[in-house]
Amino acid sequence: MVDETGERPRHVDVPVATGVTDTSVAVKAGQRSTFWLKKLQVGFALCVVLVVIVACALSDVLAPYDPIAISLGATLQPPSAEHWLGTDQLGRDILSRIMKGGQVSLLVAFTAVFLAGVIGGLVGVIAGYVGGVFDAVAMRLADVQFALPAVILALVLVGAVGSSLFNLVIVLSLANWARFARVLRSETLSLRERGFVELAKLSDASTTRIVLRHILPNVMSTFIVLATLDIGIIIILEATLSFLGLGVQPPYPSWGTMIADGRAFLEQAWWISIFPGVVLILTVLSGNILGDAARDRLSPTLSTKW
């Protein structure tokens, strides 16, 4: 497993096509012609993410109306100059609710990704470096997470502990840590055999020091890529739980609960569901584009699937 040339052998559980090769005969011509398109995509994604984050973070200041103020004189109003995106069945302003709901959805998603990443990443790095019983137990636990669809696992967990915001973050990260663990474990396995780690061992560095100073900095780029790609997945998972009534609870709005609210009014008032849905899609889409771009730049050999 030691590689003389210093090239990192990739350890992939399932052999899978990775990335794009540049040697294809059929497609030599016009290879760079869509390069501008990629730049455009990333630019668009950055703008969307910035606008959404700023609008949601500052919703208390920027929102035109109080997102939970009921106004029975103005129910189910279509989009107008007064209410840009219309009002819902209780006369609440959709735009303000999207901003407030985004605050809740994004806060939950970012915290859950961070937690899942830290737990999964640490478990993966330690399992990869230390091996032995810890490795065996951790990887069997990862198998358990992979053996159940995330939605079902999260539903059962939320059913057990209740759906406070805090619980929701814990549940979402418990349903998403294993990908970090598996990928970072295999990165660590190959790093462990590299020269600089051997040297550190020879110079009597402690295990903690090697992991902190030599392993962690080297898996950081993979971690960032995984985390960026994970945000979209967790936003969708949270929205699904909230849509099913087991996620974010009233009085907080969230994108998932707003979409659920509008279900009964799909006929008369499509804007209740559709606008939060469009914002959700745009946000996840932009997150995915940024994740892909980060992967292309930071760790191009990382497989698109896990």
Partner 1 sequence: MHRKAREPSVMTRFIFFRTQQALVTVFLVTAIIFVIIRLVGDPTHLMLPPEATEADRALLRDEMGLSDPIPIQYLRFVGDLVQGDMGTSYRFRRPALDVVMERLGATLLLTSLSLGVGTLVGIPLGVASAVRRDTVVDILAKGVAIFGQAAPPFLLALLLVRLFSVELRWLPTSGYGSFSNLILPALALGWYSAAGILRLTRSSMLEVLGSEYVKMARIKGLPAHVVIYKHALKNASLPVLTFMALQFGILMGGAVAIEAIFAWPGVGKLILDSISNLDYAVVQAAVTVSALIFVGLNLAVDILYAIIDPRIRLG
Which segments of the chain are extended strands (E)? none
Phi (first) and psi of residue 87, to 5 degrees: -130, 160
Give the shortest CB-210-to-partner 1 separation in angstroms: 27
Closest to partner 1 by CB, 223 vs 243, is: 243
Here the tokens at position 212 are 């902190």
What is the 3 state secondary structure string of 84-109? CCCECCCCCEHHHHHHHHHHHHHHHH
Give the shortest CB-212-to-partner 1 separation in angstroms: 31
Q: Which residue has the tokens 């840009």?
A: 84
Closest to partner 1 by CB, 43 vs 159, is: 159
Are 211 and 122 within 8 A, CB to CB? no
Closest to partner 1 by CB, 8 vs 201, is: 8
* Amino acid sitting at position 195: G
Give the shortest CB-208-to-partner 1 separation in angstroms: 29
Give the shortest CB-306-to-partner 1 separation in angstroms: 8
Are 305 and 12 within 8 A, CB to CB? no
Closest to partner 1 by CB, 10 vs 209, is: 10
Closest to partner 1 by CB, 65 vs 101, is: 101
Closest to partner 1 by CB, 85 vs 211, is: 85
Give the shortest CB-300-to-partner 1 separation in angstroms: 12
Give the shortest CB-211-to-partner 1 separation in angstroms: 26
Binding site for partner 1 (CB under 8 A): 14-27, 30-31, 33-34, 37, 140-141, 143-144, 146-152, 155-157, 159-161, 232, 236, 239-240, 243-244, 246, 259, 262-263, 266-267, 270, 273-274, 277, 280-282, 284-285, 288-289, 304-305
Measured CA to CA, the distance from residue 187 to residue 234 in angstroms comes to: 23
Angle of the 150-161 helix axis to the 216-243 helix axis, nearest 10: 70
Closest to partner 1 by CB, 95 vs 229, is: 229
Q: Is 55 helix (H, G, I), strand (E, B) or coil?
A: helix
Measured CA to CA, the distance from residue 62 to residue 241 in angstroms comes to: 28
Give the shortest CB-166-to-partner 1 separation in angstroms: 16
Closest CA to 255 of 267, 268, 237, 270: 237
Closest CA to 83 of 263, 279, 261, 269: 269
